[in-house]
Chains A and B, each alone.
Chain A
């Protein structure tokens, strides 16, 4: 009896031992940097010399400096491109591919659509900045169909730079969403569709009543991943516009980088990073809650 108790308490500690390596990594590489960022955000520091205590001044600047606040607003605008377009379009494409699932065309379509996800973001950014340049393919096509009047340097124009960045993001994320949704569709019981068809349901009815509700969790993952990608965007903007022209496509991720490494305002950069982290969590948690599986 005694021995059994001992073994049980021993195994409780053994459990913790198994967690220890992962927990140690988590603390050193996630918790500690996060804690340090929060700490830095309360100082005025150039990254080298001695820091001076600054209280919440950096946070006040994040919300009162029009340039910094505009960057946050731009990130929110990007959600429409990075999130709404890939999810909606992804649903339509996945539904179409599923209907032709048996043909070889489906395999080709899947590959082509997922390809942007495989290409490094930097390469995608460079390719798109060529496509969207004043003599690029986009403008050539527009001129060819007689729309010469609207051609412009899409990434260098104040009104189109941010949407152009958004289009690149949508193109990259569409493949991921399509693939996730397609995987979700494949696990829906075919008997449901058969039953619906026997009851006289058309393709649209099938989609709304069976496909969409069954994909609740997959859509949740897509929306979460893409919203986070929009809010935390950096690579695409850095490669294609660097925030220009005149801050028209500036996003918080890029602003943090500029503040920390070129302006050497590590405190302000950290404060913006903390605000961005809170914003990402504030957006991601409700999405998770809304889309979680109620039956379990």
Chain B
């Protein structure tokens, strides 16, 4: 007993973390490649760690195996929240070849992800529209995101905006999507008068869905670039700006006017979707990952538009993020993983799967072929919106992704308090900024 106790205490006396194997600099910096790697001809088993509920990754790996019979996939799936919590440990102890990634900053800081720069060079990823890869770049040391080396790759990239119920829109005489923020306000007011719920949104539990309309309003009132700077942790960036305050005040106006459900603070994402599909709610701030679902559940009844600007014809912006996958720093089959990621963006069949199953725009060169899409569907309008965002350079990451904990611990409680009348717009931005500063410093 004394021996056991002594042994365990001795083990406990070393500083925690120092015993972990740290991948060497050589392992995490990219090896120089002269030609594009392949998966070879020998049997390869790729270890994958994917997100439950998103069939696109599985569909793509199945198709890849069909085209490259020597490659098979050994896939483990978890909920995104579980992946977020386990990512560092999984990457350190048992690095997958291909893994769905949460926010990458902390993983890069700890040298857990493979640097993909050399693959980008030989495959020509660096010739794609730069905005596609921007969110997955990290400066050396993992301090600032949005620039530097590439540490992840997307299977496709999503687009957010406003969905609307066409039947309810007809009831209030709305025939075209609102062109300005004032038009949107007017439509909401009309809906409220007609006894309809103007906005379907979630804001319960640890996921404050009012961050969607808030960030859309921020992009209506001000430019998108400073919001990205804040999300990417550029030194000196702040969320507490005059235009963001106008946006938050506008959101508060919607809350006070009763445009959200009375119980919005107790509504989770799934409840929002089921209510919207039952016809409860004219507008819904959400993303194109639901396009396919809405096309199936309410065919022909749902429209989509990008958040309208304050001035007619003004620049538009939207939260748009790649469905990020990365390669473990010590992964066994990194070359094959990179080959797969390139194939996803360039193979015609893979791009079709990306649109039809993923519902979002595929990665890849701007002139790459697009699969045929049925006209009049939501998918068609969300993909078209992507072109407008590219033209306006209005692609933003999500304000919830600024740090690992900013969503659950700062945006969500503050937005819930704003709904409950326990927080002011000024206080909300100041409180989030204070949490951000302490998290960036601490992390």
Q: Which residues of A contact B (CB under 8 A)?
A: 16, 19-20, 23-24, 27-28, 31-32, 35-36, 39-40, 43-51, 53, 133-134, 152-158, 241-247, 258, 261-266
Shortest distance between the CB of B83 and any CB in chain A (Å): 12
Report how far A44 CA is from B15 CA in the complex, Å. 10
Chain B contact patch, size range: 35 or more
A51-B263 in contact given A31-B8, A245-B413 (Cβ < 8 Å): no
Q: Could you count the A-B residue pairs with CB atoms below 8 Å apart for me: how many are there?
A: 140
Q: Could you pull out 30 A-B pairs where Cβ atoms are within 8 angstroms?
A: A16-B1, A19-B1, A23-B1, A27-B1, A31-B8, A32-B12, A35-B12, A43-B15, A45-B16, A46-B17, A47-B89, A48-B20, A48-B112, A51-B15, A53-B15, A133-B263, A134-B261, A152-B262, A153-B262, A153-B266, A156-B263, A244-B265, A245-B417, A246-B414, A246-B422, A261-B85, A262-B85, A262-B408, A264-B88, A264-B443
Report how far A261 CA is from B205 CA in the complex, Å. 17
Report how far A48 CA is from B206 CA in the complex, Å. 25
Q: Which residues of B contact A23 (CB under 8 A)?
A: 1, 4
- Partner among B5, B265, B422 whose Cβ is within 8 Å of the Cβ of A31: B5
B374 within 8 A of A: no
Q: A245 — nearest CB in chain B belongs to which residue?
A: B416
- Partner among B109, B263, B423 whose Cβ is within 8 Å of the Cβ of A153: B263
Q: Are A50 and B15 in contact (CB under 8 A)?
A: yes
Q: Are A158 and B420 in contact (CB under 8 A)?
A: yes
A134-B262 in contact given A245-B419, A247-B413 (Cβ < 8 Å): yes
Q: Are B263 and A49 in contact (CB under 8 A)?
A: no
B405 within 8 A of A: yes
Report how far A261 CA is from B388 CA in the complex, Å. 38
Q: Which residues of B contact A51 (CB under 8 A)?
A: 15-18
Q: Are B413 and A48 in contact (CB under 8 A)?
A: no
Q: Which residues of A contact B203 (CB under 8 A)?
A: 245
Q: Are B17 and A258 in contact (CB under 8 A)?
A: no
Q: Are A246 and B417 in contact (CB under 8 A)?
A: yes
A242-B206 in contact given A43-B16, A134-B263 (Cβ < 8 Å): yes
- Partner among B106, B262, B420 whose Cβ is within 8 Å of the Cβ of A264: B106
Q: Are B416 and A246 in contact (CB under 8 A)?
A: yes
B204 within 8 A of A: yes
Q: Are A49 and B265 in contact (CB under 8 A)?
A: no
Q: Are A263 and B405 in contact (CB under 8 A)?
A: yes
Q: Are A47 and B17 in contact (CB under 8 A)?
A: yes
- Given A49-B22, A50-B18, A264-B443, 13 other A-B contacts at CB below 8 A? A32-B8, A32-B9, A36-B12, A49-B20, A133-B263, A152-B262, A153-B266, A243-B206, A243-B413, A246-B412, A246-B423, A263-B405, A263-B409
Q: Which residues of A contact B204 (CB under 8 A)?
A: 155-156, 244-245
Report how far A286 CA is from B112 CA in the complex, Å. 48
Q: A268 — nearest CB in chain B belongs to which residue?
A: B442
Q: Are A39 and B16 in contact (CB under 8 A)?
A: yes
Contact with A along B77-100 (1 / 0, CB 8 A): 000000011001100100000000
- Partner among B88, B109, B112, B413 whose Cβ is within 8 Å of the Cβ of A246: B413
- Looking at chain B's contact residues, is the secondary structure mostly helix, strand, loop, or mixed? helix
Q: Which residues of B contact A47 (CB under 8 A)?
A: 17, 88-89
Shortest distance between the CB of B1 and any CB in chain A (Å): 5
Q: Are A266 and B16 in contact (CB under 8 A)?
A: yes
Report how far A68 CA is from B439 CA in the complex, Å. 15
A156-B266 in contact given A39-B16, A46-B443, A243-B206 (Cβ < 8 Å): yes
Report how far A283 CA is from B162 CA in the complex, Å. 52
Q: Are B88 and A28 in contact (CB under 8 A)?
A: no
Shortest distance between the CB of A130 and any CB in chain B (Å): 11
Shortest distance between the CB of A98 and any CB in chain B (Å): 41
Q: Which residues of B contact A48 (CB under 8 A)?
A: 17, 20, 88-89, 92, 106, 110, 112
Q: Are B5 and A27 in contact (CB under 8 A)?
A: yes
Shortest distance between the CB of B313 and any CB in chain A (Å): 38
Shortest distance between the CB of A6 and any CB in chain B (Å): 23
Q: Which residues of A contact B262 (CB under 8 A)?
A: 134, 152-153
Report how far A262 CA is from B12 CA in the complex, Å. 24
- Partner among B1, B9, B408 whose Cβ is within 8 Å of the Cβ of A35: B9
Q: Which residues of A contact B265 (CB under 8 A)?
A: 153, 156-157, 244-245
B365 within 8 A of A: no
Q: Which 9 pairs, one residue from A and one from B, show the smallest C-beta to C-beta distance?
A: A156-B266, A153-B263, A153-B266, A134-B263, A156-B265, A245-B416, A246-B417, A263-B405, A246-B416
Q: Are B422 and A20 in contact (CB under 8 A)?
A: no
- Partner among A43, A246, A262 whose Cβ is within 8 Å of the Cβ of B420: A246
- The listed residue with most B CB atoms (<10 A of its CB), out of A39, A53, A156, A258, is A156
Report how far A24 CA is from B1 CA in the complex, Å. 6
B292 within 8 A of A: no
- Partner among B4, B261, B423 whose Cβ is within 8 Å of the Cβ of A28: B4
Q: Which residues of B contact A154 (CB under 8 A)?
A: 266
Report how far A47 CA is from B86 CA in the complex, Å. 11
B37 within 8 A of A: no
B178 within 8 A of A: no
Q: A155 — nearest CB in chain B belongs to which residue?
A: B266
Q: Are A258 and B408 in contact (CB under 8 A)?
A: yes
Within 8 A of A (CB), among B237-269: 261-267
Q: Which residues of B contact A153 (CB under 8 A)?
A: 262-263, 265-267
- The listed residue with most A CB atoms (<10 A of its CB), out of B12, B404, B419, is B12
Q: Are A258 and B409 in contact (CB under 8 A)?
A: yes
Report how far A48 CA is from B110 CA in the complex, Å. 7
Report how far A24 CA is from B262 CA in the complex, Å. 56
A28-B8 in contact given A158-B420, A245-B265 (Cβ < 8 Å): yes
Report how far A24 CA is from B419 CA in the complex, Å. 53
